[in-house]
Amino acid sequence: MVVVEDDRNIADLLDLYLRTGGFRVLQASDAERGLDLVEREKPCCVLLDIGLPGSMDGLEACKELRRRSDVPVILVTARDEEIDRILGLELGADDYVTKPFSPRELVARVRAVLRRTEPSRKGTEEAIHIGELHVDPLRREVRSGDETVQLTAREFDLLTHFVENKGIVRTRQQLLDAVWGPGWFGDERTVDVHVRQLRRKLGDALPLATVWGVGYRCG
């Protein structure tokens, strides 16, 4: 994805959060460079700061992006009060985040936007590698080193959720909601049972930590 942000510190923070969330990130420090980058790289999503230097600010850039493509755009604003004004402009942005944002909120927003806009993009989902572990969401294939590992559908979904949320602690309830669905009223121990199976099948290739009293964290 492309991050357009002139403040170096914020850009690096966004970069870190998004990489941790499993995204490949390209940075641009002004609107013109951002638009070029989007045209060249066809990213899955654009994070666009509103206050940009030069002749084109983030709002102008958003309008321009809309004219050129249907890439999802998330606006980044420094102030809550701006949001109403931004929405009133009907720029065609898919969402917005307000500084300061938490890593989890940011990644969740991006994922939500990608899910909403997914049908046209599903085919670009990339395989995820963490150390020895290789997870391919499209082929539903898991390898530990060179060895293919057979997982049940639920184990696969749980593993994919873990690696897509690398570095983020997930509670058992969040895992149930995400993998079993919010309508599933099972026991939280169901998660533990599936985690045990994943650990048994993947061994040391699975970098999954138990966070006592909370849940699990991958990576």
Contact residues for Ca ion (CB under 5 A)?
6-7, 49, 51
CB of 7 to Ca ion, least distance (A): 5
Please identify the residue of the shown chain whose CB is closest to the bound Ca ion.
51
Joined tokens for residue 114:
């990608």
Using alpha carbons, select from 75, 78, 73, 74 the residue that is nearest to residue 99.
78
CB of 49 to Ca ion, least distance (A): 4
C-beta closer to Ca ion: residue 49 or 157: 49
H helix or E strand, kind and range, residue 110: helix 103-116
CB of 21 to Ca ion, least distance (A): 22
C-beta closer to Ca ion: residue 6 or 136: 6
CB of 98 to Ca ion, least distance (A): 13
H helix or E strand, kind and range, residue 14: helix 8-20
C-beta closer to Ca ion: residue 22 or 51: 51
Neighbours of 89 (CB within 10 A): 12
Joined tokens for residue 98:
């307000």
C-beta closer to Ca ion: residue 48 or 151: 48
Joined tokens for residue 91:
């720029």
CB of 58 to Ca ion, least distance (A): 8
Joined tokens for residue 152:
């049940």
DSSP state of 180: I
Residue 165 CA to residue 161 CA, distance in Å, equals 6
C-beta closer to Ca ion: residue 37 or 218: 37
